[in-house]
């Protein structure tokens, strides 16, 4: 079968023929429909994040997938059912975080991540997975279900953000998303959704108009902030201080700048994964502002099955036009390398292995 | 009556004669027993934190007090009852944070703080207070009750720390207190108490043995870490990574260093209030570690009545020797300036206006 991989020593994706996997007892065989591409895939390809499966000379890419059950293999699944796989798997049996359904909180070293850290991903015609790492999704998700994974990461970040403020009556009104990539735009759509508390949302980018991401930001009802005109430090005065900041840029200065952009009692969620970078900060002001204004800064990675379930509801509640506008390229497996090319017109690309 | 004040233009405390206050309707007249001194008082005296009451040429110092009801003035209090006053008061009537009992979460500008920010403190023979800002304490607290205020600040920080980790099953074992001043030692005693989750606690200081604070740290069952021998960056390897770090130093580099000292899923609480200080950090590593290890850093200031109530229980549960060992000096009002002098033998000093 065809698989999209990165080979050891290379920094670009390649389409190769690999053996079709055989499910172990307790595993189902899944036929892949669509696999989305995000910034983490680029970091994996460039060798900046994750690592190869042991003893393999390549890694199958992809961690955002929607698939259909091809062979239930005596599991409780029904053949033809649509599923989305989670990303993390335990390195050893009996891992306490996986046992209690919180693989997203497992420390580094205790997990692999399919398509990222030491395990093959989903960018192949078929893959196998244990039932416990699959979430069933509605039939209507055949084309959009690969978005459940990125949305689930924001579900976790939002859950943790609210938890940090649960010791008092927090009444947030304003939210700022840093980054107008696919995760930023999905998050903005979630924050603009009627089930959240936020009445005014903003999204930071650095694109000139006309631009398809700015169109989406504004169609969602949010305000676009061009960081070249209004840098982070100017946002509270130019717009307003933010109750919630969600960072999806991987730009290291955003961690500290997030604190200064917050209103009293605000919370900043970091999702990006920057490289080392040494620079000067006013550490006294950072520290003092956190204390005197009761602010929080936290990091969030990965997600668990509860977040996938919440993501299904969020995706179903998105306006009809959003997924169409987000997906700017659909590629056949043989054309998969082109799906990794970026441009100002590219938002989200997918590799489509099959349809239902 | 005698009051201990700092006068505009001066940077040292002075004992002056001021008029005895008259309670307004709804206020009681309190006879002061003891007022404790902490680092914030020094910052107030030096003009580094807080400000003078408007239209006054001096500020009565002191925000850690225990007092006895001298004139209930038709409130529900009983004369002779012991009380501890809270610190914050609203700048205007109808403030939402005060209305819902969360003055500790009020933004800067919406409150004054007695003895700190724009209001007279408790370091006088008598003071007045509305009933809603008084917490009644047991008769046994006549000598120790002034500690309820600092303990309440840690109750808040601990409540918020647990809240930040409430979206998953957090099982902390290790805690590190930064700073062996009175607040650090009180916090260490709370973390060592049987009602907390922490089985191993550490306290960072920079004192040579023999030292009374190291004696207290070790008598509490904690491990003393000398930062000159084991700097923050070396603590995880030399000891172990920490599930919880509590900063009570006001040293700005501790904010960032706290993140690196944490175990995965750990939480750092900042309580100190540093001045501006620009220095270089590896902001990429800070950001990445927060994300990939699901860490939290938050600031906490002040406390509310619920935290005072919790502090009463914590103080009552302290070992008998602790308060005696903490209080290294008891000064009459006329000798109050000497109570502000610091030395390696000084831990906590109090000005005693009266006894019961």
Quick check: B195 pLDDT over 80?
Answer: no
Are A210 and A106 part of one and the same domain? no
CB atoms within 10 A of CB B72: 17
Q: Do B343 and B211 meet the contact criterion of CB atoms below 8 Å apart?
A: no
Test B264 with A290 for CB contact under 8 angstroms: no
Kindly state the average pLDDT of the residues B241-268: 98
Q: What is the 3-state secondary structure (H, E, C) of chain A?
A: CEEEEEECCCCCEEEEECCCCCCCCCEEEEEEEEEECCHHHHHHHCCCCCECCCCCCEEECCCEEEEEEEECCCCCCCCCCEEEECCEEECCCCCHHHHCCCHHHCCCCCEEEECCEEECCCCECEEEEEHHHEEECCHHHCCCHHHHHHHHHHHHHHHHHHHHCCCCCCCCCEEEEECCCHHHHHHHHHHHCCCCCCCEEEEEECCCCCCHHHHHHHHCCCEEEECCCCCHHHHHHHCCCEEEEEECCCCCHHHHHHHHHEEEEEEEEECCCCCCCEEEEEHHHHHHHHHHCCCEEEECCCCCHHHHHHHHHHHHHCCHHHHHHHEEEEECHHHHHHHCCCCCCCCEEEEECCCC
Please tell me if residue B295 touches chain A, with a CB cutoff of 8 Å: yes
Quick check: A195 pLDDT over 80?
Answer: no
Please tell me if residue B263 touches chain A, with a CB cutoff of 8 Å: yes
* Backbone phi, psi, residue B48, to 5°: -90, -10
- Name the closest residue on chain B to residue A257, using Cα atoms: B283
Kindly state the average pLDDT of the residues A177-181: 97
pLDDT-derived band at A255, boundaries 50, 70, 90: very high
Test B276 with A282 for CB contact under 8 angstroms: yes
Query: Counting beta carbons within 10 angstroms of the beta carbon of residue A171, is it exposed (0 to 12), middle (13 to 18) or buried (19 or more)?
Result: exposed
Confidence at residue A287, expressed as pLDDT on a 0 to 100 scale: 98
Give the C-alpha distances (Å, rounded to integers) separating A159 from A269, A277, B332.
Answer: 11, 29, 52
Angle, helices A148-164/A182-192, rounded to nearest 10 degrees: 60
Are A157 and A284 part of one and the same domain? yes
pLDDT one-digit tens code per residue, A94-135: 999 999 999 999 999 999 999 999 999 999 999 999 999 999
CB atoms within 10 A of CB B338: 13
Kindly state the average pLDDT of the residues B182-188: 98
DSSP B134-186: EEE--GGGTTTGGGHHHHHHHHHHHHHHHHHTTTS-----EEEEE--SHHHHH
Give the C-alpha distances (Å, rounded to integers) separating A331 from A322, A337, A351, B321.
Answer: 19, 9, 5, 73
Kindly state the average pLDDT of the residues B296-320: 97
Q: The CATH number of the domain where A40 resides is what?
A: 3.90.180.10
* Averaged pLDDT of chain B: 97
Are A248 and A201 part of one and the same domain? yes
Confidence at residue A193, expressed as pLDDT on a 0 to 100 scale: 85
Are A286 and A326 part of one and the same domain? no
Please tell me if residue B289 touches chain A, with a CB cutoff of 8 Å: yes
Q: How far apart are CA A50 and CA A44, in angstroms?
A: 6
Are A89 and A168 part of one and the same domain? no
Quick check: A194 pLDDT over 80?
Answer: no
Confidence at residue A350, expressed as pLDDT on a 0 to 100 scale: 98
Confidence at residue A283, expressed as pLDDT on a 0 to 100 scale: 98
Smallest CA–CA distance, residue A278 to chain B, in Å, is: 4
Q: Which two tokens stand for residue A121?
A: 């991903």
Are A343 and A276 part of one and the same domain? no
- Name the closest residue on chain B to residue A269, using Cα atoms: B291
Which pairing describes strands B64-71 and B82-85: parallel, antiparallel, or unpaired? Answer: antiparallel
Considering only CB atoms, which chain B residues are within 8 Å of A255? 283, 286-287, 290
Please tell me if residue A163 touches chain B, with a CB cutoff of 8 Å: yes
Residue B144 lies in a domain: no
Are B181 and B295 part of one and the same domain? yes
- Name the closest residue on chain A to residue B249, using Cα atoms: A287
Test B283 with A270 for CB contact under 8 angstroms: no
Confidence at residue B197, expressed as pLDDT on a 0 to 100 scale: 80
Test B160 with A163 for CB contact under 8 angstroms: no
Considering only CB atoms, which chain A residues are within 8 Å of B295? 298-299
Confidence at residue B196, expressed as pLDDT on a 0 to 100 scale: 77
Test B163 with A159 for CB contact under 8 angstroms: no
A299 Cβ contact list (under 8 Å, min separation 6): A269, A270, A271, B287, B289, B290, B291, B292, B293, B294, B295, B296
Smallest CA–CA distance, residue A254 to chain B, in Å, is: 8
Residue A19 lies in a domain: yes
Are B271 and B339 part of one and the same domain? no
Residue A62 lies in a domain: yes
Q: Which two tokens stand for residue A142?
A: 């055949």
Please tell me if residue A305 touches chain B, with a CB cutoff of 8 Å: no
Are A161 and A293 part of one and the same domain? yes
The minimal CB distance from A105 to the residues B106, B168, B276 is found for B168
Are A228 and A187 part of one and the same domain? yes
Query: Counting beta carbons within 10 angstroms of the beta carbon of residue B199, is it exposed (0 to 12), middle (13 to 18) or buried (19 or more)?
Result: exposed
Please tell me if residue B199 touches chain A, with a CB cutoff of 8 Å: no
Residue range(s) defining the domain that contains residue B164: 153-299
Residue B286 lies in a domain: yes
* Backbone phi, psi, residue A354, to 5°: -165, 170
Confidence at residue B346, expressed as pLDDT on a 0 to 100 scale: 95
Specify the pTM: 0.97
Q: Which two tokens stand for residue B92?
A: 């205007």
Are A128 and A161 part of one and the same domain? no
Residue A252 lies in a domain: yes
Considering only CB atoms, which chain A residues are within 8 Å of B159? 167
Half-sphere exposure of B291 (CA within 13 A, CB side): 26
For residues B295-333, b (16+ Cβ closer than 10 Å) or e, as one string? bbbbbbbbbbbbbbebbbebbeebeeebbebbbbbebeb
pLDDT-derived band at A317, boundaries 50, 70, 90: very high
Q: How far apart are CA A77 and CA A136, in angstroms?
A: 9
Test A270 with B290 for CB contact under 8 angstroms: yes
Using alpha carbons, select from B64, B24, B62 the residue that is nearest to residue B45: B62
Using alpha carbons, select from B120, B85, B88, B119 the residue that is nearest to residue B103: B88
Q: How far apart are CA A220 and CA A173, in angstroms?
A: 16
Q: How far apart are CA A156 and CA A270, in angstroms?
A: 12
The residue of A99, A256, A266, A297 whose CB has the most chain B CBs within 10 angstroms, and thus the best one to mutate to test that interface, is A297
Q: How far apart are CA A105 and CA B164, in angstroms?
A: 13
Test A299 with B292 for CB contact under 8 angstroms: yes
Quick check: A138 pLDDT over 90?
Answer: yes
Considering only CB atoms, which chain B residues are within 8 Å of A156? 167
Residue B145 lies in a domain: no
pLDDT one-digit tens code per residue, B255-288: 999 999 999 999 999 999 999 999 999 999 999 9
Q: How far apart are CA B227 and CA A29, in angstroms?
A: 56
The helix/strand count (H/E) of chain B reads as 11, 20
Are A324 and A279 part of one and the same domain? no
Portion 75-104 of A in contact with B at CB < 8 A: 100, 102, 104
Considering only CB atoms, which chain B residues are within 8 Å of A263? 107
- Name the closest residue on chain A to residue B248, using Cα atoms: A291
Number of domains in chain B: 2
A with B: how many residue pairs have Cβ under 8 Å apart?
195
DSSP state letter for B95: -
Portion 108-137 of A in contact with B at CB < 8 A: 108
Q: The CATH number of the domain where B171 resides is what?
A: 3.40.50.720
Residue B304 lies in a domain: no
Residue B7 lies in a domain: yes
Q: How far apart are CA B301 and CA A4, in angstroms?
A: 52
């Amino acid at each position: 079968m065809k698989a999209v991989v990165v080979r050891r020593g290379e920094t670009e994706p390649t389409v190769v023929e690999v053996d079709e996997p055989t499910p172990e007892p307790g595993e189902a065989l899944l036929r892949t429909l669509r696999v989305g591409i995000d910034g983490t895939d680029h970091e994996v390809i460039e060798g900046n994040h994750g690592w190869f499966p042991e003893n393999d000379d390549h890694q199958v890419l992809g961690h955002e997938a929607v698939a259909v059950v091809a062979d239930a293999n005596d599991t409780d699944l029904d053949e033809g059912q649509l599923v989305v796989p989670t990303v993390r798997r335990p390195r050893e049996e009996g891992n306490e975080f996986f046992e209690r359904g919180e693989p997203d909180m497992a420390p580094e070293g205790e997990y692999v991540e399919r398509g990222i850290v030491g395990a093959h991903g989903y960018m192949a015609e078929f893959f196998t997975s244990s039932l416990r790492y699959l979430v069933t999704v509605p039939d209507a998700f055949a084309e959009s279900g690969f978005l459940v994974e990125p949305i689930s990461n924001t579900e976790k970040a939002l859950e943790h953000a609210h938890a940090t403020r649960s010791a008092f009556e927090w009444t947030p009104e304003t939210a700022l998303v840093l980054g107008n990539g696919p995760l930023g735009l999905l998050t903005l759509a979630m924050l603009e959704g009627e089930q959240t508390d936020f009445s005014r949302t903003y999204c930071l980018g650095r694109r000139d108009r006309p631009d398809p991401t700015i169109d989406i930001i504004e169609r969602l009802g949010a305000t676009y902030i061009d960081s070249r005109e209004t840098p982070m430090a100017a946002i509270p005065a130019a717009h307003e201080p933010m109750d919630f900041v969600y960072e999806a840029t991987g730009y290291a200065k955003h961690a500290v700048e997030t604190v200064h952009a917050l209103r009293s009692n605000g919370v900043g969620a970091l999702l990006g994964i920057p490289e080392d970078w040494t620079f000067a900060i006013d550490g006294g002001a950072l520290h003092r502002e956190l204390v005197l204004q009761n602010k929080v800064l936290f990091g969030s990675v990965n997600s668990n099955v509860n977040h996938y379930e919440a993501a299904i509801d969020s995706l179903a509640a998105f306006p009809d036009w959003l997924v169409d506008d987000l997906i700017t390229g659909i590629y056949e497996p043989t054309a998969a390398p082109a799906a990794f090319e970026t441009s100002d017109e590219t938002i989200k690309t997918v590799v489509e292995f099959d349809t239902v």
